[in-house]
Each structure stands twice: as structure tokens, then as C-alpha cells.
């Protein structure tokens, strides 16, 4: 095992700035998957589980959504919410039982609501409630991608080390070119955030500046 005195951010920047770094590249048609931009994770100062990395994250997500809609490509939003019993969280909901615990994000609670800044087109966009980290797990996302003959998945939201990484791994495992716009994902601590950006960039996805992703979308017809 290699050792280093560098921070997780410094290691990530080394990977990002390596001119020899290989890419999977964009395909021909993308689906935008916005993972859990809900108040439990975005209302910093109100909920202990919330976090912010780039203050413009949700604005960038909305910009990506506008471009995908222009192209007639699917825009997906996911959120997590659970029954009063919490049993649908399974073993994932058994470590703690506090007001901040995962299984206590109840249906119709403020923690389950999308962030007020999120711009969802209720007639065109797809909304899935998911129970586990990956946006693919027991949702209709795979069927949606198949129907639209998409070959590329753009992933935004949070957290980088949890649901973003899980969704990216599942996306690659299903054969999709996977794109993670750096400014569009967030985590509780920069160490987890940058360590997982590094891991995804090396193995599972192209981690790109959001400006490059937006430029690619704007070039599509």
C-alpha cells in the first residue's frame, strides 16, 4: 500500500491535473440523475445531516436540467423517505434511532422535501423515492434508461461518498458512460468528498468540471 502525507484534496488534484488521465468519454444520449437534493441534506444550519460543498451546486444542477429538457432527454430526481415504522430502511436504519437518523426521514416530513431551490418540471421530469444508496436499487431507473436508449448517465447530488458513489458504481456496472460534474456533488467533510472523487475518477466515472458538461450538452442537437 502506498502512503502519503498529502491531503485527500491534494491527491484528487494530482489525479485531476494528470494530462495522461484516461476518460470514458461522453456517449450519444444522456440521462441526468439528481440524487437526493432534499432538505435533510441541503438545509445547512437547520438539520445536522445537511452539508454544502459548492454554494452554487443546486443552480448548476438546474442548469444541467434545463439543457437536458431542451434535448428531450430525461431528468430524474430522487429522494429518500420511509414509513413511520422505518422498516423499509431495513438493516441500514438500525445503527441509531435519533431525530437525525436515516430511517426517521419520514414521508411528508420537512426532511423529505426537495430543497426549495430545486426546479422540477412536474410534467416532464421523473421523481423516484429510493430506499438505499444507489439510485438504481429497486427503482425504475434502469427501465427508463433502456426505453430512452441512453448510453450516458450524469450524476449530481449527495453525498459524494455515499449515494453518488453507489450510483456511479451501479451505472458503470450496467455499462453506462458515467459523468460526475465536480461542482454538483457534495459531502459532509472534504476528506470523504475528495477521497471519493479520486476513487470515482480512477475507476468508475469521468469527474469533470460542470462547465465542460454544460458545454457538451449545449453542443448537442
State the catalytic residues. Answer: 163
Helices within 46-187 (DSSP H only): 57-70, 141-147, 165-173
Q: CA-CA distance, 194 to 126, in Å (whole number)?
A: 29
Task: Give 71's strand partners.
Answer: none
Q: Please, what is the Cα angle at 181 between 175 and 187, to 5 degrees?
A: 105
Answer for the pair 181, 32: CB distance below 8 angstroms, yes or no. no
> Read out DSSP for 25-40?
---S-EEEEEE--BHH
Q: Which residues contact 99 (CB under 8 A, 6 or more apart)?
A: none
> Are 142 and 174 within 8 A, CB to CB?
yes
Q: What are phi and psi of 80, to 5 degrees?
A: -115, 140
Strands 152-158 and 126-130 turn out to be unpaired
How far apart (Å, rounded) are the C-alpha atoms in residues 188 and 158? 9
Amino acid at each position: 500500500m502506498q502512503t502519503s502525507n498529502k491531503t485527500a484534496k491534494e491527491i484528487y488534484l494530482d489525479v485531476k491535473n494528470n494530462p495522461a488521465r484516461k476518460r470514458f468519454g461522453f456517449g450519444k444520449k444522456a440521462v441526468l440523475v439528481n440524487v437526493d437534493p432534499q432538505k435533510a441534506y441541503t438545509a445547512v444550519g437547520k438539520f445536522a445531516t445537511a452539508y454544502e460543498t459548492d454554494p452554487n451546486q443546486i443552480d448548476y444542477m438546474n442548469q444541467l436540467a434545463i439543457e437536458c429538457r431542451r434535448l428531450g432527454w430525461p431528468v430524474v430526481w430522487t429522494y429518500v423517505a420511509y414509513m413511520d415504522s422505518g422498516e423499509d430502511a431495513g438493516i441500514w436504519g438500525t445503527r441509531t434511532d435519533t431525530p437525525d437518523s436515516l430511517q426517521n426521514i419520514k414521508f411528508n416530513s420537512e426532511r423529505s422535501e426537495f430543497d426549495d431551490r430545486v426546479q422540477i418540471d412536474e410534467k416532464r421530469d421523473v421523481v423516484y423515492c429510493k430506499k438505499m444508496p444507489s439510485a438504481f436499487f429497486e427503482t425504475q431507473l434502469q427501465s427508463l434508461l433502456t426505453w430512452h436508449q441512453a448510453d450516458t448517465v450524469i450524476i449530481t447530488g449527495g453525498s459524494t461518498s455515499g449515494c453518488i458513489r453507489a450510483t456511479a458504481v451501479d451505472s458503470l456496472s450496467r455499462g453506462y458512460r458515467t459523468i460526475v460534474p465536480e461542482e454538483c456533488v457534495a459531502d459532509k467533510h472534504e476528506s470523504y468528498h475528495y477521497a471519493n472523487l479520486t476513487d470515482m475518477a480512477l475507476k468508475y466515472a469521468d469527474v469533470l468540471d460542470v462547465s465542460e458538461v454544460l458545454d457538451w450538452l449545449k453542443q448537442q442537437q
